[in-house]
């Protein structure tokens, strides 16, 4: 029991979850898969696009990957504002309208290469709204002890989207595709993706909901901090910013690999199909490792130790890929990418969850958005550096120098992760008897406030399953 403002006793809030939360996760997964496939599908065929459309390497990588990396950070801020102000449903539906536009506009690439660029612009709009949704869904729909796993599962859908997208060229585009024949093959691939993407997105317009009738936790029902105040609070949180920068450097390197992989491996005589398979291998191995790491962190709460271990592993596995490239052996390279995917993929969801803990009560969409935005910015800068090294008929030496660049960035990221100090503010709030998240509490509580908080701290956490 707790005391009201008038001193009367009232029953403590009952929290609960419903099975509808699983449908929300499925709908989000469908949305992000449809959005991401359009970006990654061009990675295995970048050299073909150069021959098909007679464009430079800069134009191809800019139009099919880098433009998204530039626009997503810019659009992320207004997207987060609308998500925070109008709720999850509004953000997801706007994202899906943009994704549909991106898919169908891209099919016009048979007429002009610039339609690929326009399609990527709309895809970036959708991506900006979707990238901060997982942590928001976790806090709004899931119980505290389910959040790490729910965020991890939704992050895994990003891996699935990339894996599916990377395989489309293998079914539609020949390894030596060029000219009008190649243009027709690219059109067939994009048309099929538009049909499939439309089917995935359609149910969200009818079934996606903002929030459940009963909140799953105190954090879910607490009033969020205003958008600009959230941004200022996050920027002033030195520990969280160190983690954001360190994690972003490593995630940004992963984005760079995805953007330039075909060009990076071409000097070592690896084929387009090989590149698609390596991306898929790394993603498929990332699925069970993400679940395993998410389960371990959920039980142990050892976020920092896990993140540092993953960062070190990511750096070492990148070194392994470099040495595998020198062997020109497809099997050895496949093993290296399996190792890379197994280690790297759990890093993003675990880092986001720790950031939400460390920066509470900053809005989850703000935290995740800033983290991913900085990753995109750093990854874009790294991609430009890699493109400069790989321009034209670059040899193996330039490819090795590109590996050195990415490894060096990872090392800096790991050092920053080591400097991070773990604090679990959100969990502390959940386990306390506090009844709000206001950061402007008076220094002296009134007698009635003191009594209310004292009794609240003695109350057991009431939790029920509403299914």
Angle at CA of residue 370, ends 365 and 373, nearest 5°: 115
Beta bridge partners of 2: 10
- Judged by DSSP in three states, 10 sits in strand
Residue 454 lies in a domain: no
Domains: count for the chain: 1
Q: Give CA–CA dist 187/175, Å, rounded.
A: 16
Q: In angstroms, how far is CA 394 from the centroid of its own chain?
A: 32
Residue 456 lies in a domain: no
- Judged by DSSP in three states, 3 sits in strand
Write down the pTM of the prediction. Answer: 0.69
Residue 443 lies in a domain: no
Q: Give CA–CA dist 440/32, Å, rounded.
A: 38
pLDDT at residue 450, as a whole number: 33
Q: Give CA–CA dist 409/275, Å, rounded.
A: 23
Range list of H helices, 41-146 = 46-53, 57-61, 67-86, 88-106, 114-130, 133-141
Token pair for residue 351? Answer: 């880092």
Residue 430 lies in a domain: yes
Residue 170 lies in a domain: yes
pLDDT at residue 367, as a whole number: 83
Residue 444 lies in a domain: no
Could you give the count of Cα atoms lying within 13 Å of 216 in the half-sphere of its Cβ? 21
Could you give the count of Cα atoms lying within 13 Å of 445 in the half-sphere of its Cβ? 11
Which residues have a Cβ under 8 Å from the Cβ of 11 and sit 6 or more positions away?
A: 1
pLDDT at residue 224, as a whole number: 67
Token pair for residue 314? Answer: 């990511």
Q: Which structural domain range is residue 329 located in? A: 14-434
Q: Of 433, 420, 365, which is closest to residue 137 (Cα–Cα)?
A: 365
Token pair for residue 135? Answer: 């942590």
Do residues 27 and 208 lie in contact, with contact meaning Cβ atoms separated by under 8 Å? yes
Residue 54 lies in a domain: yes
pLDDT at residue 454, as a whole number: 37
- Judged by DSSP in three states, 112 sits in coil
Token pair for residue 232? Answer: 């200022």
SS3 content of the chain, % helix, strand, coil (to 5): 80, 0, 20
Q: What is the CATH number of the domain that holds 272?
A: 1.20.1250.20
Long-range contacts of 310-313 (CB under 8 A, 24+ apart): 310/343, 310/344, 310/346, 310/347, 310/350, 311/246, 311/247, 311/250, 311/347, 311/410, 311/413, 311/414, 311/417, 312/414, 313/343, 313/344
Residue 348 lies in a domain: yes
pLDDT at residue 52, as a whole number: 84
DSSP state of 65: I
**pLDDT (tens digit, 0 to 9) for every residue of the chain, 467 residues total?**
445 555 554 555 677 778 899 999 999 999 999 988 887 788 777 778 888 888 877 788 777 777 777 787 788 778 888 887 888 899 899 999 999 999 999 999 878 888 988 998 999 899 888 887 888 888 888 888 888 888 888 887 877 887 788 778 888 888 777 788 888 888 899 999 999 999 999 999 999 998 888 888 777 676 667 777 878 888 888 888 999 999 999 988 888 887 788 778 888 888 777 777 887 788 788 888 888 988 898 888 899 999 999 999 999 999 999 999 888 888 898 899 899 989 988 898 889 888 888 888 887 777 877 888 888 788 878 888 887 787 765 678 888 888 999 999 999 999 999 998 888 888 888 776 544 333 333 333 333 343 344 334 334 334 444 44
């Amino acid at each position: 029991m707790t005391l009201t403002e008038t001193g009367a006793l009232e029953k403590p809030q009952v929290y609960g979850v419903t099975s509808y939360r699983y449908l929300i996760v499925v709908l989000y997964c469908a949305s992000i898969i449809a959005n991401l496939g359009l970006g990654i599908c061009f990675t295995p065929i970048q050299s073909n696009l150069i021959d098909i459309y007679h464009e430079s390497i800069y134009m191809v990588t800019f139009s099919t990957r880098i433009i998204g990396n530039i626009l997503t950070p810019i659009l992320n801020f207004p997207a987060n504002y609308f998500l925070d102000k109008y709720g999850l449903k509004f953000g997801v539906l706007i994202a899906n309208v943009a994704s549909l536009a991106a898919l169908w506009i891209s099919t016009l690439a048979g007429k002009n290469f610039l339609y690929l660029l326009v399609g990527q612009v709309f895809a970036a709009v959708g991506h900006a709204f979707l990238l901060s949704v997982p942590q928001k869904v976790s806090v709004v729909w899931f119980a505290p002890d389910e959040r790490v796993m729910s965020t991890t599962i939704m992050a895994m859908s990003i891996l699935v989207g990339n894996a599916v997208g990377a395989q489309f060229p293998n079914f539609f585009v020949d390894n030596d595709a060029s000219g009008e024949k190649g243009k027709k093959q690219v059109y067939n691939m994009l048309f099929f993706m538009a049909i499939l993407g439309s089917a995935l997105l359609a149910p969200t317009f009818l079934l996606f909901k903002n929030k459940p009738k009963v909140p799953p936790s105190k954090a879910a029902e607490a009033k969020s901090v205003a958008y600009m105040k959230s941004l200022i609070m996050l920027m002033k949180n030195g520990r969280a910013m160190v983690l954001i920068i360190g994690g972003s450097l490593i995630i940004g390197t992963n984005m760079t690999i995805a953007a330039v992989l075909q060009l990076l491996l071409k000097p070592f005589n690896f084929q387009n199909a090989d590149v698609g398979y390596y991306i898929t291998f790394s993603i498929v191995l990332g699925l069970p490792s993400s679940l395993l790491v998410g389960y371990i962190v959920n039980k142990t709460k050892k976020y920092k130790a896990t993140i540092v271990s993953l960062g070190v592993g990511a750096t070492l596995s990148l070194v392994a890929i470099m040495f595998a490239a020198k062997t020109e052996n497809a099997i050895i390279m496949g093993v290296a990418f399996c190792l890379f995917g197994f280690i790297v993929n759990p890093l993003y969801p675990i880092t986001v969850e720790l950031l939400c803990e460390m920066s509470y009560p900053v809005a989850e969409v703000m935290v995740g958005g800033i983290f991913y935005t900085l990753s995109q910015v750093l990854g874009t800068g790294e991609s430009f550096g890699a493109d400069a090294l790989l321009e034209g008929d670059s040899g193996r030496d330039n490819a090795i120098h590109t590996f050195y660049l990415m490894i060096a960035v990872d090392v800096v990221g790991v050092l920053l992760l080591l400097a991070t100090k773990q604090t679990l503010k959100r969990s502390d709030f959940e386990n306390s008897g506090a009844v709000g998240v206001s950061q402007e509490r008076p220094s002296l509580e009134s007698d009635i406030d003191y009594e209310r908080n004292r009794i609240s701290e003695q109350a057991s956490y009431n939790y029920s399953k509403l299914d």
